[in-house]
A and B are shown apart, each in its own frame.
Chain A
């Protein structure tokens, strides 16, 4: 197992009255994809901004390959590439000019910068649009150009802030493939995402953050085990059946009470074979349902399980139900 190469310890960052980071710890290993999973406002972007030397933490420390992000920012910047949340490309330059500019800023000669730009345009399937200004690019093309721009200097560490937000499913899959290819070549990737599925599919290890705190850490497998297998939801056609429906679902629940949101009742189950039994039981009770579904837990349910509140709830006393633990991998 290789040495930890992105480390953060007790990071704190306050903006006004908001504690964006409230003691974040994380350890990512070289050549892996490390995921930062959390809802909007959880502190994901702030974490990335601290790690990529854009802002200084109020407390705590972070290091990339042993270089401290506050005391040795110049060394850190030589090792990293950053793709922010909004495609940071110059819309009034062509794809080629964007990449050429970055190469020149990195100290490449004109010829080197031109060659590197051509190489990346080819790799990211942008050769045909190389001379068109980026304003005319589609969302997916812009993201690819943005990613290419962060790779001009062949960074060992790549920070991706919600790289697939706003992309259509096809572009998202393409981007996942590109990220995996980079990691196969030895790049260490730290990415943030709001999507449980994305973290699950891409990350070797991840932390779940909420209100600036790490509330869970581990491999996606470990977290899924903790979160539980499946989510069963039912909505009775007749609102007066709510109590009885809840009782039926509770019979199949995995330890916890069903959660009711308006007319929709949600319960966590472990054994997916129970769906048939649930249908029969509801039928026996004479309950007609408008909606009955079995699915994998969404980020909301992950949060509900880990924190006792939904991801959107901006309550401030999230601490009582949280577990704060370090990576055990």
Chain B
């Protein structure tokens, strides 16, 4: 019997493999409408609740608070989106899909790459949706188109860089529950102890110290500056430095643990 190898020879195509995995992850939304709720209704709910529940108490009016809070709530919501990377990778390991991918002559980086690419789409979707809803409620950009585009770039870049620590969480966790626990422990303090909802100056000293170096604060300050005007250079530089730093630490860690996990 002369068996013919039909699988195309040559090196696996990283880009094509990544897009295939990304497509597969996005197709999950079709099968699992909860995901659509999570990435659409949840951020809008956050926006509406925060603006109308706290708006009067924190600022003088809801409208004034909306101007202040939209950049913060946007960044806060985006910081949670990479949970999908953590949960997705974790479930793929548990279900044996990673074994299947590893037994194929495909690019190994494409599994994490496709996950993050899919989250990039989800992040972009949430940003666009929340901004549109915010504008319908009365939010106004005050720093021109370039500022708005810059702000979106910073938010999306930050969301993507958080995919790496979340990928790490998904790979090192044995169960879905521990992904949730670890993920919340990581993301929740970062988003709340920041300038997202209130001015940092209103916090006690020790928390102020944390909030000021917190990458989420830097990113929010950058986004606020870019959307509304105000100081931009320092927070943007700090944000970019954080994004590079987070990825420099967690991308190698995640890839190492991905290779090691059996």
Mark A residues whose CB is within 8 Å of B: 30-31, 49, 52-55, 74, 77-82, 84-93, 97, 101-102, 104-108, 133, 135, 149-150, 153-156, 186-187
Contacts and interface: CB of A to CB of B under 8 A. Distances in A.
B24 A77 contact: no
B103 A186 contact: no
B232 interface: no
Contact of A90 (B24, B102, B106, B262): B24
| Interface-centre pick from A106, A135, A150 (highest chain B CB count, 10 A) | A106
A102 B96 contact: no
B5 A78 contact: yes
6 contacts: A90-B97, A92-B27, A104-B20, A105-B104, A105-B106, A186-B3
A88 B97 contact: yes
A91 B95 contact: yes
B101 A105 contact: yes
B100 A88 contact: yes
A89 to B, nearest CB: 8
Interface in B105-148: 105-106, 110
A52 B103 contact: yes
Contact of B20 (A77, A81, A101): A101
A54 B99 contact: yes
Given A78-B9, A106-B7, A186-B1, A54 B104 contact: no
Interface string B17-29: 1001101100110
B7 A53 contact: no
Chain B interface size, as a band, is: 20 to 34
B104 A86 contact: no
| In the A-B complex, the 5 residue pairs with the closest CB atoms | A88-B96, A82-B103, A186-B1, A92-B31, A77-B105
Nearest to B35: A92
Nearest to A105: B106
A154 B6 contact: yes
B12 interface: yes
Contacts of B181: none
B103 A80 contact: yes
Given A78-B9, A104-B16, A104-B20, A31 B103 contact: no
Given A55-B262, A97-B24, 8 more contacts: A49-B99, A54-B103, A77-B103, A82-B99, A82-B100, A92-B31, A102-B100, A105-B20
Contacts of B1: 30-31, 186
Nearest to A187: B3
B101 A156 contact: no
B8 A156 contact: no
Contacts of B103: 52-54, 77, 80-82
Contact of A105 (B9, B17, B27, B99): B17
Given A54-B262, A106-B8, A107-B7, A84 B17 contact: no
B100 A149 contact: yes
B251 to A, nearest CB: 22
A153 B103 CA distance: 12
Contacts of A97: 24, 27
Contacts of B16: 104, 107
A153 B106 contact: no
B77 to A, nearest CB: 23
Nearest to A88: B96
B162 to A, nearest CB: 23
Contacts of B105: 74, 77-78, 106, 153
Contacts of B106: 105-106
Contacts of B12: 107
B37 to A, nearest CB: 15
B13 interface: yes
A156 B97 CA distance: 21
